Chains A and B, each alone.
Chain A
């Protein structure tokens, strides 16, 4: 099983002010492979990492053996700020797993390159307070051997 089930599960079905669950009751996890291991385990030290081209400095996501821009194979994981912006969001209400409460799914783009996006859960925020374009920061959810990057409203004003 996938460790601690998502907390909570109450809250209104379509929004409102209650803070929803942090994610689904059952989190299906990534299979660790040579190309993705740095990403899914990097959160052990609380830092988010992306593959980056040493030659042209392009962030490469999802991980790939070569830079899609300059085709260099000199790529290495690099720590990023963990700050991101909400591109889009949805509240999943359908109970794919019985007993799952509503949870927020966000699509965020990282501060370093708006073209690099992650699907994630938006946590520690009431649905009514979620805004497209809002600043968020990473917080990791440790499950078995992986650290899932979730995002919460950014602390501090960086506007």
Chain B
């Protein structure tokens, strides 16, 4: 069976293998070192050898962002593994961090490659070392640079971090929807509960509501536990054409649809609705490409670089109505592994570590394959999830993904 000619091109693709390096704080290893671990694990997991890999993709590519953010470039990884590539792509502009995965799906659909290795690597913890987390612009040491583009509108006012820009959205949601810190806390508490059952997670000690409410503020109303933690780690995926699905002892993850739209202004501060973000558009475009509906989703891995982003994504994905994510998560049960919509089952980024979107994609595959161990979600039907939704990004950066278990 094959998708009909009217099916979205991305449905020609499956995730046939996944791999992850060590994940931690200040591992002191290079990005390339971690990346090769993840890539080789993913290739082996897919039942392939590196000779089978003919495509390579990453986000965000060369020289982007603060130290430790970008990871190695595709030429570095290609050369380290002496890959013979028919297609390669690295870049930072597109539908979220998963733009690399989406590009890979389209490449296999177009016949440009059969097995694409896709990776995302961060060494932000090691790079930041003992210096603590920096805002954009660093500490101003040495010559003080001046800024153009978007940053000229934020840095002069000390809005030096995405946490400031996103705090404005959180505050606006409190004003418009009555969102409370106790509701926001559920995103962080859920992540911490799930991280306890993920040996790779960075923060696994129990955390309760009092811990959350007592945490120091970063940018009101967001506190320390609303922010993910800079981490070191690499995640790799093998995207294969569905016709070349290897014989491996696990189901593949079928790409059902991707979400790529950005219909509002591409801006943190000039977006038409300051209670939401590009997530709204990306998720809407994903649902336009599939017959699946939000109620079909068994597990969701929602981007939580900041807790409020997961709330925005819950609404953008249609799991609840606009402005309703606070009440939706309030009892803490609905989004738990025993609830009707388990989210961020490996601890998300808040407790699992900031793997910048790809940790969430990895966990979606783990869950669909039934490989979650102590944190495996069992659906009401009695098996592992059949449908997983994943989102990446905040502000004007947004991409989403629907995966299903096994070839569809």
Residues of A whose CB lies within 8 Å of any CB of B are: 1-2, 13-15, 23-24, 26-33, 36, 40, 61-62, 87-94, 96-98, 100, 103, 105, 107, 115-121, 132-133, 143, 146, 148, 150
Contact = CB atoms under 8 A, between A and B. Distances in A.
A112 B111 CA distance: 52
Nearest to B170: A90
A33 to B, nearest CB: 6
B157 A93 contact: no
- Chain A CB count within 10 A is highest, among B140, B145, B148, B274, for B140
A23 B163 CA distance: 16
Interface residues of B, number: 43
A143 B165 CA distance: 23
Given A119-B157, A120-B157, A132-B175, A91 B148 contact: no
Interface in B119-172: 134-135, 137, 139-140, 144-148, 150-161, 163-165, 167-172
Nearest to B150: A62
Contacts of A89: 168, 171
Interface of B: 134-135, 137, 139-140, 144-148, 150-161, 163-165, 167-172, 175, 216-222, 269-270, 272, 274
Contacts of A13: 216-217
A28 B270 contact: no
B172 A87 contact: yes
A26 B141 CA distance: 11
Contacts of B218: 92-94
B213 to A, nearest CB: 11
A116 B272 CA distance: 10
A105 B169 contact: no
Contacts of B146: 28-32
Contact of A148 (B137, B151, B157, B219): B157
Given A90-B171, A92-B164, A107-B274, A30 B156 contact: yes
